[in-house]
C-alpha cells in the first residue's frame, strides 16, 4: 500500500501546483502528514533520496517527472541512479 501512496504523491506533485509549492517550501511537515508512508519512505522524501526511491520500486517515469522537486535536472537524476544499473528489469 505504501509504495502506491508514494507514487500517488509524485503523481500529485506533477499536477497540483499548490501541493508542489507546499512540498518545496515545507517539505518536512508536508511529508510528516502522509499517513500511509512508512518512516523510511518519509526519510526518502525528506532527504531527497532519489536512489532509495528508485530501489524502493517507484515507477521510473513518475520519479524522473518529479526530479525537479528534489532539485535535480535530468543529467543529475541519471547520475544519481548510476549505482542501480541492472537492478531493475525492463
Partner 1 sequence: MSVVASVCMGHAPGMMGWPERAPKEQRERLFGAIAEAGQRVMAVEPDVLVLATSEHFANFFDIRPPFYLNIGEQSEGPAEKWLGVERRAVPGNASLAERMLESSLEKGFDIAYGHDLLLDHGSIIPLELMAIHRETPVIPIIVNGLCAPMPTFTRCGEWGESLGELLQAAPERVALVGCGGLSHWPGMAEQGKISPVWDRAVLDGLTAGDRSVLTEPPETGWDEAGPGAHELRAWTITGFATPPARAEVLAYEEAVAWGGGLAVVDLLPQQ
Q: Interface residues with partner 1 (CB under 8 A)?
A: 7-8, 11, 14, 54, 59-65, 78, 81-88, 90
Residue number with CB closer to partner 1 (40 or 83): 83
CB of 28 to partner 1, least distance (A): 25
CB of 15 to partner 1, least distance (A): 9
Which phi and psi angles does 78 have, rounded to 5°? -70, -30
Residue number with CB closer to partner 1 (1 or 39): 1
68, with CB counted inside 10 A (0-12, 13-18, 19+), is middle
Amino acid at each position: 500500500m505504501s509504495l502506491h501512496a508514494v507514487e500517488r504523491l509524485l503523481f500529485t506533485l506533477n499536477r497540483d501546483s499548490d501541493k508542489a509549492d507546499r512540498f518545496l517550501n515545507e517539505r518536512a511537515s508536508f511529508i510528516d502528514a502522509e499517513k500511509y508512508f512508512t518512516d523510511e519512505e518519509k526519510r526518502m522524501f525528506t532527504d531527497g533520496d532519489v536512489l532509495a526511491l528508485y530501489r524502493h520500486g517507484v515507477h521510473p517515469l513518475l520519479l524522473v517527472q518529479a526530479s525537479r522537486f528534489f532539485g535535480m535536472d535530468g543529467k543529475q537524476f541519471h547520475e544519481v541512479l548510476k549505482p542501480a544499473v541492472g537492478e531493475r528489469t525492463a
